[in-house]
Each structure stands twice: as structure tokens, then as C-alpha cells.
Structure 1
Amino acid sequence: MTSDNERKLRDAEAYLGIASGLLQEVIDSEWRDMDDSDCETEAMIDNLESICDAVHKQQAQLFNIYSGISIEAIRQSFPNTLRMLEDD
């Protein structure tokens, strides 16, 4: 994977984190402001919670993909590093 695409993955993961945080703020605010018998708002909050959970899961998957790529890059560069040390 190119370094540009790796950066885009990191950015996408960060944006999903921001989106998840914003959704959670809306959810928390709506719970605080909701009337006891407001079924419509409660249904909306339930939908927002589902969306927030899905966004958070997608963020975690992107993080796992990016982490796997980073670990593989380190693993591949390790033999080269050992050779450089042996040459010195």
C-alpha cells in the first residue's frame, strides 16, 4: 500500500472517530432534554445509537487494517535493518 493510501486510511479512521463522538454528544443531549413520555424522540435516539455503534465498529475495523499494514511494514523492514547493522 502506498504511503498516501496509508495516510488516507488513518484520516478516515480519525474522521469516523470524530463522527462517533459527535453522534454520542447528540444522543446524550437528547436523553437529557427528552420528556418522559416522548416516544418519538426515544425512537430517534435508538436509531442514532445504532448508527453510532456501527460507525464505532467501522472505525475499529479501519484501525485494525491500518495496524496490520503497519506491523507488516515493520516486519518486512526488520531484515534490512539487521543487514545494515551487520554491515556497520
Structure 2
Amino acid sequence: MHNNEYISEVEFIDIFADNLRDIMYEMDISEGELARRTGLSKMAISRYLNKKRMPTLKALVNLSYVLCVPITDLIPTYAMID
């Protein structure tokens, strides 16, 4: 594979956080409300939005379900992680 087909984990987390923030803004949903509806802590949502942590697969599925978006709207799928 060529190097341009890879993204770093940091880039992956940055893209996820930006996508999550954009979707939350479009849906007019707060961190607290998202936490309540997904069963995640507000601290976990804050860590995702501040690019400190990636969600588990379970949390990702729950975020996708609550936000009514496919998982691919939250995570980058166009490259491999280096």
C-alpha cells in the first residue's frame, strides 16, 4: 500500500471527534443529553469531543443508534490506520 492510504491513530481520533461534534450540532443535542440517551458518562462524551479517547465498539454502535446515523458517518473509512 502507498503511504497516502494510511492515517495515524491521532488523525483517526481527530476525524471521529470532529464528525461527532458536527452531528451533535446538526441534531442540536448536548453532551449531557447524548450521555443520558446512550448510557455513556458525560465525561466519556467530553473525552471523545476533546480528542482524548476513542469509543469502544459498543459505545460507537450506541452513538450511531442514538444519533440516527450510520457508523461510517462517525469514523473515517477511507484509509487504513498506520
TM over 0.5: no
TM-score w.r.t. the length of structure 2 is: 0.34
Greater fraction of residues in strand: 2
TM-score w.r.t. the length of structure 1 is: 0.32
